[in-house]
Amino acid sequence: MSTKSNQTIETTTEDVLRTLKNRYILMMRQQVRSWKAFLILGFFAGFTAAFLFTASADLTEGLFAKQPVPQTIQNTASVDYQDTQGAQMQQVVSNAVSISVSPQNGPPDQPPQDTTAPGQVTDLTALQKNQSVVELVWSAPGDDGIIGTADRYDVRFSGAQITDQNWQQQQGINGVSKPTVAGSIEKVTVSNLTANTTYYFALKTYDESNNESLLSNQAIISIGDDKKPEDAIDTTPPGRITTLFPDKEVTETSIPLRWIAVGDDNHTGVAFEYDIRYSITEIKDESSFASALQISDEPKPKSVGAQESYTITNLQNNTAYWISIKARDEVGNASELANVVRVQTGQGLVPVPNPGYVSRIKIIIAPEKNYRKDIAQVRLRIRDSLTKAIKVELKQDADAQGAIEYTPNNVLKEIVDIVIQAPYTLTRIVKNVDLNETETIPLAVSDIKVGNLQDADDVINSLDWAVLSSKWGTGDKDADFNQDGLINSLDWGIMNKNWNAKGEEN
């Protein structure tokens, strides 16, 4: 390694490993006592309370072209690692060492931190096997949202409704398998239950960074007495299909479809038949599905989790069709209406909302006067108005018009609270919002409250005012409330005006 135009990196006893950007390695070990092989990096001699520094090229560059050169230095000293076309090792007895390296070297790039939680499970189902055993079935979420494979599940049950507030008090279930790839069918058996009792089941999913998903839907089941098979009446329909999509080769007259098979009884067994229908008018509910044109040669269902496919033919060119599907069992129990797709012949998929679910949420921040609209890292939270359970939480930059758009996954059209927080400064909550297919919510600065800069206690008090005023007094960029690059009376006015404004999150 050349010593020309060197810079100095200070290394102390706490350092263990530093990977330099030009692919050289600097390593230190304490209490070197005897000659022996150290990995593949070379040999070292014994010095009590010595530190071993080894610099080596990448393996492909001819490691150990020359023998290591031991060196003992008392107190603090500088050591230059010279170019050996392979490797050189220095032994140093010292409590602090300055090591000169070339300018292109430096600390390693930090790996990105995983802050994305696994997706929320929304189809948890409980199936009674006998008077003391229940089988739980659900679709695997992903590691990051609906992508990848999560790390573990935490499944719990109770005799009453499970919420985020009482989650930790509920009884856990052992023997839950590791998550499989997103979209797979997961199962666990729960035994030793009590007959004639109602149970509530729910779960959370975690990734390898311990990010926690939202609480799943609750599977509720009343355990009855055993019945003989000949006395049992099948009232359980097949599971709802949520994976209907057009395949890649949409032509001018045909639309190929694909989906994942569900079971006879929810997600167990094999369904009896499919009912595929299409229409040039919107399919949005049971009535419009019943009025749509039915396919006559649907494929026979496969086992749970299998890939299914079918191609609708003899269609009109450049025409948009709404398509959906149901599964039925042998006694005629029909599943809920599947997700609806809208596909145009000759083009492909056209976005369409799922019945009962929100397809898009758009929030427009409308600041007054010269307050910039493109606020970075605005946090959006959607929570249940009654239980305060978080349904959606994300951070996103507002565009030049102050808009934040989000395409949610499995967010029902229901009454929720929507919370908006700008970093360090502003918080606004809109309570009891009735989510429609698209909800546009303007937020004026006069309705935004100065947020908490002291801690995360969600309490706006004198501690926060002290922090804010101090930042304004020192010209800190966090006090640039109108984001014009200046800390002046305009920012003080905004801070003062919004201190008692509506919108405290509680």
Q: How confident is the model at residue 292 (pLDDT cuts 50, 70, 90)?
A: very high
Residue 329 and residue 292 in one domain = yes
- Asked if the structure places residue 447 within a domain, the reply is yes
Tokens at 316, concatenated: 């009109």
Task: Give CA separation, 253 vs 17, 78, 245, 335, in Å.
Answer: 62, 77, 17, 29
In this prediction, residue 416 carries a pLDDT of 77
Residue 254 and residue 332 in one domain = yes
Q: How confident is the model at residue 225 (pLDDT cuts 50, 70, 90)?
A: low
- Asked if the structure places residue 180 within a domain, the reply is yes
Residue 390 and residue 485 in one domain = yes
The dihedrals phi and psi of 470, each to the nearest 5 degrees, come to -65, -40
Which of 188-192, 196-200, 220-224 bottoms out in mean pLDDT, i.e. has the lowest? 220-224
- Asked if the structure places residue 94 within a domain, the reply is yes
- Asked if the structure places residue 239 within a domain, the reply is no
**What's at 439, amino acid-wise?**
E
- Asked if the structure places residue 307 within a domain, the reply is yes
Rg (C-alpha) for the chain, rounded Å, is 31
- Asked if the structure places residue 11 within a domain, the reply is yes
In this prediction, residue 289 carries a pLDDT of 94
CATH number of the domain at 266, please. Answer: 2.60.40.10
CATH number of the domain at 395, please. Answer: 2.60.40.4130
- Asked if the structure places residue 119 within a domain, the reply is no
In this prediction, residue 142 carries a pLDDT of 83
How many angstroms separate the CA atoms of 59 and 139, rounded?
Answer: 45
How many angstroms separate the CA atoms of 429 and 290, rounded?
Answer: 41
The dihedrals phi and psi of 60, each to the nearest 5 degrees, come to -75, -5
- Asked if the structure places residue 112 within a domain, the reply is no
Most confident of 193-207, 236-250, 492-506: 193-207
Strands 378-384 and 390-396: antiparallel
Report the SS3 class of residue 470: helix
pLDDT tens-digit profile of 258-276? 888 888 877 778 888 999 9
Residue 28 and residue 79 in one domain = yes
pLDDT tens-digit profile of 457-495? 445 566 666 677 777 777 777 676 666 667 787 777 777
Find the length of the chain. 506
pLDDT tens-digit profile of 418-427? 877 776 556 6
Q: Which of 223, 256, 289 is the last residue of a domain?
A: 223
pLDDT tens-digit profile of 443-460? 544 444 444 444 444 455
pLDDT value at 66 more than 60: no
Residue 366 and residue 492 in one domain = yes
Q: How confident is the model at residue 45 (pLDDT cuts 50, 70, 90)?
A: very low
**What's at 39, amino acid-wise?**
L
First to last CA, the chain: 59
Residue 62 and residue 145 in one domain = no
Is 213 in contact with 121 (CB distance < 8 Å)?
Answer: yes
201 CB-side CA count, 13 A = 28
Task: Give CA separation, 246 vs 182, 284, 321, 352, 435, in Å.
Answer: 19, 18, 11, 13, 28
How confident is the model over 213-233, as a mean pLDDT?
Answer: 73
Residue 458 and residue 365 in one domain = yes
How many angstroms separate the CA atoms of 465 and 30, rounded?
Answer: 49
Q: How confident is the model at residue 206 (pLDDT cuts 50, 70, 90)?
A: very high
pLDDT tens-digit profile of 323-335? 999 998 887 889 9
Higher pLDDT, 245 or 92: 245
In this prediction, residue 438 carries a pLDDT of 56
Residue 213 and residue 267 in one domain = no
In this prediction, residue 47 carries a pLDDT of 32
Residue 60 and residue 185 in one domain = no
Q: How many domains does the chain have?
A: 4
pLDDT tens-digit profile of 307-358? 899 999 999 998 989 999 999 888 788 998 988 888 888 876 665 555 566 7
Question: Residue 71: which domain range?
Answer: 7-101
pLDDT value at 279 more than 90: yes
pLDDT tens-digit profile of 75-121? 434 444 444 344 334 433 333 333 333 333 344 455 667 788 898 89
- The percent of residues above 70 in pLDDT, for the chain, comes to 58
